[in-house]
Amino acid sequence: MPRTQKERNEETRRALLEAGSSLLREVGYARTSVAQITRRANRAHGTFYLHFKNKRDLVSVLLDDMADEARRHAREIWRAAPQVDAIWLGLRDFLARISPDRGLWSLLEEVVALEEDAAPLRSRLRRLYVEPILRGLQEHPDGLASRAPNIELVADLLASMGLHFARTGSLPASPDVTALHMTVVWCRAIGQPITETDLDKLRDMFATN
């Protein structure tokens, strides 16, 4: 069956995103041009502007895709009353995924440094990470939101831990151990009880994974 125009357009858009992502990681924002992106994607130069306003618009889409992936995993953590092992598994998975995204975080800092009006892009992306945590706290069946003196600050601090590792790519220990320490902090921040039995269970889990 012949592909529809919509399918061809989506294929072109995806090819441009993949080409842009690889070039931006290789040579950075300043040294990547629209011509290079379309050449690598094997598309006509003009097709770029049918899908993106400019190079920064493509970067924004790449970062949004990265944030959407993180939000999907955040929803898994907050899907029900968060059990300690579920929080640890979610955090470990997030930490395992940040390595391929680290280049995009560095790219974001480069864009903000080069373009004065790009700062809202960083703020918007940060908010995409904070909102699922805030919503999870607010919707927790045990009323965790009522325990925190400033729930928005708690959500921001919890998100900051993950975003710090995403930006720097430097973990203080292995992803398993780092996730364990982050889990303890998260549980204390949201009022989720964590016992020695829970900690022993987590140690057993990452010893067998």
Secondary structure of the chain in the HEC alphabet? CCCCHHHHHHHHHHHHHHHHHHHHHHHCCCCCCHHHHHHHHCCCHHHHHHHCCCHHHHHHHHHHHHHHHHHHHHHHHCCCCCCHHHHHHHHHHHHHHHHHHHHHHHHHHHHHHHCHHHHHHHHHHHHHHHHHHHHHHHHCCCCHHHCCCCHHHHHHHHHHHHHHHHHHCCCCCCHHHHHHHHHHHHHHHHCCCCCHHHHHHHHHHHHCC
CATH architecture under which domain 1-52 falls: Orthogonal Bundle (1.10)
Q: What tokens appear for 157 in the block?
A: 């601090």
**Residue where the block lists tokens 């968060």:** 82
Domain ranges of the chain: 1-52, 54-207
Do 1-52 and 54-207 come out as alike in CATH topology? no
Listed range (42-51, 165-174, 194-203) with the worst mean pLDDT: 165-174
pLDDT tens digits along 93-132: 777 766 556 666 677 778 877 887 777 877 877 777 777 7
pLDDT tens digits along 132-147: 777 777 776 666 666 6
Q: How many CB atoms within 10 Å of residue 5?
A: 7
pLDDT tens digits along 52-104: 999 989 988 988 887 777 667 666 666 655 567 777 777 777 777 665 566 66
Listed range (15-29, 39-53, 108-122) with the worst mean pLDDT: 108-122
Please say if the pLDDT value at position 209 is more than 70.
no
> Which CATH entry fits the domain spanning 54-207: 3.10.590, 1.10.357, 1.10.150, 3.40.30?
1.10.357
